[in-house]
Amino acid sequence: MNRRTFLQVGVSGAGGLLIAFTVGCKDKDAPAPAPAPTPGTGDAPAPARPAGADLNAWIRIDPDDTVTMLVPEAEMGQGIHTGVAMILAEELDADWATVRAEHAPADGAKYGRQSTGGSTSTRGNWDALRAAGATARAMLIAAAAQQWSVPAAELTTEPGAVVHAASKRRARYGELAAAAAKLPPPAPDTITPRAPGTYRLIGKPTKRLDQRPKITGAATYGLDVRLPGMLFAVVARPPVVGGKLVKFDGTAARAIPGVKDVLQIPTGVAVVATSTWAALKGREALSVTWDDGAHAALTSEQISKTLRDLAPGGVTVKQQGDAPDAVKRARTKLAAAYEVPYLAHVTMEPLNATCDVEDGRCTLWVGTQTPSGCQKTAAEILAIPPEQVTVHSTFLGGGFGRRSQTDYVAEAVHVARSMKGPVQLVWTREDDTRGGFYRPAALSLCEGALDADGWPTAWVQRIAAPSILERFGPLEGGVDATAVEGVENLPYALPHLLVTYARPDLPISTWFWRSVGSSQNAWSTECFLDELARAGGKDPLEVRRRLLKDKPRHLAVLEAAAARAGWGAPLPEGRARGLAVHESFGSVVAEVAVVSIDAGAPRVHRVTCAIDCGTAVNPAQIEAQMESGILYGLSAALHGAIHLDGGKVRESNFHDYPVVRMREAPRIDTVIVASTDPPGGVGEPSTPPVAPAVCNALLALTGKPVRALPIRLG
């Protein structure tokens, strides 16, 4: 337990107990380093921060017994509000039927840093959440002890109430909340969280708290914000990467009924109107001259060539033994190049932000993974103190990393400062596909060697990929940690391993995309291992068992997935299984895919998934996240590619950037491996293994490796 957990006690608006505490600080287990954010870019993984500097989460117990958890993390579909509320409610011993979860406000500097990414929401805050819940419980007990003049040690709780068994007295939390609010919080070292065997809520499949508004249309997302007098804006941006505005003529646009204004902002030309439709019509009517800049000839082929040219000359990231020499001297060896394209995030709700700037104050309504980043971005643009910026966090129609950027928020601020009243800045799907930040393209040149018995002994992987982290400052040792994650820590016991990294200079903005570097590195490593297994005449499961002897978590999920999927059992004609295992964000996931070929394209029938995510807080949401992450990864494996032609992104909407639909969606079975370790991430770790599991099934089916994504069968 973290002895430095910082808490403050107060009285809630309704006269109950309010406990404020801090979550979401530095996650020392995060694979990526913690760079400092730069202006206008939103937040990077959290920098270290003095304990207790910011309070950003609250437990509120009102006299009517309602327990409200105000959660700083963004609810973008991952069920985090429910998960956080469960942990708090467990330690508080709350009656689950009375528990609500809401997004905590980012209102001025008194609130702490808020950022959701890296699957850290549960795993980074386990201790802090448990301590806060247990503290609240101790205070309610202390209040009852005072009222009844009995020693606190004689009191226990049952869900939602303090009880004194000897005198058969019982008081509901709501009845005690006001008295508890007047007590000082107990010393942190007197607080003992529950022992894992005694959990009542943790580990129990629990329905999400936010379902009902989402199925009735009542939930408010950023794009659903409606304010009196609100206008709508869209922006015309340079079509070529790195292009600039030369001049524009807004006369025709202004003539469109409903168009109120046409104005220049740093990223292009904004059209402001009384409806989204009028703004779109106005944008169509704009006449704009762009300077295409230096990259007007850039193509995907050139990017590929750059990666191929640079990959052999990278800096050393990891070296054990002498892998190049071992490969050179081996009788059986293999070389393969694995390449992936840039990918867009494509959140289902296109990017948007609503902003009102008035009298030196700024108010934002936005679905964001980083309310504090939005606050900072707005404050910098307007040159006002952060406490003059209020951020109302809405539901997010998907985040996947994209909403931890604040570029779209900055645009809203720039437009709103020139207008009277609130403005909703809307990105169309085309803007979203073309306007942005992408998962980096990447190339891995792999070489491997087998011993005389056909077991792998040496592995060389030379990676070339644009850097995500360089925007936060110089890379330590010239290596982008996100570009090598999953390779640098390859789990396989090999006497010889060499990993290198080369950073190309490319003008495409890159950003964190669900599971980050693992999204491509699990694919290259797990596919190459299957190629080596095949070259050595070994079963893919056998090879992994042997090379993972010292990795009990990997082995456990591998065995669990293989057993559940019936590894080795006969399948209907034309189908084959493929396997992959990968660790990311503190969790290990193995997946088995069953694949056939239908009209020249892969068809995935079933994916069996096993996860070790430490303590499984909410098994129902873990299952949902496994399904979600698998289909997200499958969309990329089967379809995802952002191409550049003449410096322009070729893709624009779902017709040319397709994603998995119902008819392509495999059935998914999930096994959760029991563990009492602190919780690991669940929002991302199921994404990396799916592409290699599918490609390995195709290798088994056709004998031909897949070495480029998206999968195109020749």
Partner 1 sequence: MAITLTVNGAAREVDAPPDMPLLWVLRDLLGLTGTKYGCGVAQCRACTVHVDGEAVQSCQLPVSAAAGKSVTTIEGLGAPKLHVLQEAWLAEDVAQCGWCQPGQLMSAAALLARNSAPTDDDIDLAMSGNICRCGTYNRIRRAIKRAAGVPDAGGTP
**Residues in 63-122 that interact with partner 1 by CB under 8 A:** 76-79
Which residue is listed with tokens 């646009």?
253
Residue 690 found at the interface with partner 1 (CB under 8 A): no
Determine, following the binding rule CB under 6 A, whether residue 348 of this chain makes contact with ligand FES: yes
| Total of chain residues touching ligand FES, rule CB under 6 A | 3
C-beta of 110 vs 654, nearer to ligand FES: 654
Place of tokens 């990526």: 32
In terms of CB distance, is 77 or 666 closer to ligand FES?
77
Q: At what angle do helices 552-565 and 540-547 cross, to 10 degrees?
A: 160
- 660 touches partner 1 (CB under 8 A): yes
Residue with tokens 């929002």: 683
Nearer to ligand FES, 435 or 578 (CB): 435
Task: Please give the residue whose beta carbon sits closest to ligand FES in the complex.
Answer: 348
Q: Considering only 135-143, 159-167, 521-529, 619-627, which stretch makes contact with partner 1 by CB under 8 A?
A: 619-627
Closer of 397 and 486 to ligand FES (Cβ): 397
Note whether 398 binds ligand FES by CB under 6 A. yes
Residue 339's SS3 state is strand
Return the number of the residue (38 or 211) whose C-beta is nearest partner 1. 211
Nearer to ligand FES, 348 or 601 (CB): 348
CB burial class (10 A; 0-12, 13-18, 19+) of residue 90? buried
d(CA 259, CA 252): 10
Q: Whose Cβ is closer to partner 1: residue 347's or residue 444's?
A: 347
- Which one among 668, 671, 682, 695 touches partner 1, defined by CB under 8 A? 668
Residue 402 is given by DSSP the state G
Contact present, 120 and 516 (Cβ < 8 Å): no
Q: Which strands, in side-by-side order, build the sheet including 169-172?
A: 155-158, 161-164, 169-172
Nearest approach, Cβ of residue 213 and ligand FES (Å): 13
Contact partner, 632, from ligand FES, partner 1, none, Cβ < 5-8 Å per class: partner 1
Sites for partner 1 among residues 550-569 (CB under 8 A): 566
Secondary element (H or E) of residue 596: strand 587-598
Separation of alpha carbons 351 and 426, rounded Å: 6
Q: Which is nearer to ligand FES, 76 or 590 (CB)?
A: 76
- Quote the least distance from Cβ 170 to partner 1, whole Å: 32
The whole-angstrom separation of Cα 491 and Cα 589 is: 13
Which range binds partner 1 by CB under 8 A, 54-62, 223-231, 385-393, 701-709?
223-231
Closest CB 440 distance from ligand FES, rounded Å? 24
d(CA 685, CA 680): 9
Closest approach of partner 1 to the CB of residue 439, in Å: 14
Binding partner of 620, given ligand FES, partner 1, none, CB within 5-8 angstroms per partner class: partner 1
Instruction: Report if residue 219 touches partner 1, rule: CB under 8 A.
Output: yes
Segment 567-571 long-range contacts (CB within 8 Å, at least 24 positions apart): 567/541, 567/592, 568/539, 568/541
- Characterize the bridge pairing of strands 161-164 and 155-158: antiparallel
260-277 burial code (b ≥16 CB/10 A, e <16): bbbbebebbbbbbbeebe
Site for partner 1 in 584-613 (CB under 8 A): 594, 605-606
Measuring CA to CA, which residue among 444, 688, 689, 451 is closest to residue 547?
A: 451
Cα 686 to Cα 658: distance, rounded to the nearest angstrom: 20
Q: Which of 3, 4, 110, 226 binds partner 1 (CB under 8 A)?
A: 226
User: Considering only residues 210, 339, 488, 591, which one is a binding residue for partner 1 as defined by CB under 8 A?
Assistant: 210
Residue pair 657/651 in contact (Cβ under 8 Å)? The answer is yes
Residue 152 interacts with, from partner 1, ligand FES, none (CB under 5-8 Å by kind): none
Q: Which of 118, 282, 397, 536 is the binder for partner 1 (CB under 8 A)?
A: 397
> Which 327-366 positions form the footprint of partner 1 (CB under 8 A)?
346-350
153 binds, among ligand FES, partner 1, none (CB under 5 to 8 A by kind): none
Residue bearing tokens 């990891």: 318
CA-to-CA dists, residue 368 to 114, 398, 650, angstroms: 10, 9, 27
* CB nearer to partner 1: pick between 36 and 218: 218
**Taking CB under 8 A as the criterion, which residues in 693-712 touch partner 1?**
none
**615 contacts 592 by C-beta, under 8 angstroms:** no
d(CA 158, CA 137): 11
Give least dist CB 628 to ligand FES, A: 8
Can you tell me whether residue 143 is helix, strand or coil? Answer: helix
Select the span of 60-68, 95-103, 335-343, 390-398 touching partner 1 (CB under 8 A): 390-398
Listed ranges 145-153, 316-324, 545-553, 647-655: which one lies at the site for partner 1 (CB under 8 A) = 647-655
Q: Can you tell me the distance from the alpha carbon of 84 to that of 125, in angstroms, rounded to the nearest whole number?
A: 9
CA dist 377 → 92, 232, 347 (Å): 36, 21, 21
DSSP states along 51-92: TTS-B-EEEEE-TTS-EEEEE-S--SSS-HHHHHHHHHHHHH
Residue with Cβ nearer ligand FES (187 or 348): 348
- Residues within window 248-307 making contact with ligand FES, judged by CB under 6 A: none
Cα atoms in the 13 Å half-sphere on the side-chain side of 93 = 20
| Total of residues contacting partner 1 (CB under 8 A) | 71
For the bound state, the minimum distance from the C-beta of residue 283 to ligand FES, rounded and expressed in Å, comes to 17
Q: Backbone dihedral region of 535: left (phi > 0), alpha (psi from -120 to 50 degrees) or beta?
A: alpha
Q: What is the CA radius of gyration of the chain?
A: 27
Restricting to residues 245-274, which ones interact with partner 1 according to CB under 8 A? 257-258, 274
Out of partner 1, ligand FES, none, what residue 662 binds, judged by CB under 5 to 8 A for its kind, is partner 1
Residue among 396, 326, 328 nearest 365 (CA): 396
Give me the least distance between CB of 348 and ligand FES, in Å please: 4
The reply to whether 77 sits near ligand FES by the rule CB under 6 A is yes
Chosen residue from 3, 110, 329, 667 binding partner 1 by CB under 8 A? 667
- Closer residue to partner 1 (CB): 205 or 313: 205
What is the contact surface with ligand FES in residues (CB under 6 A)? Answer: 77, 348, 398
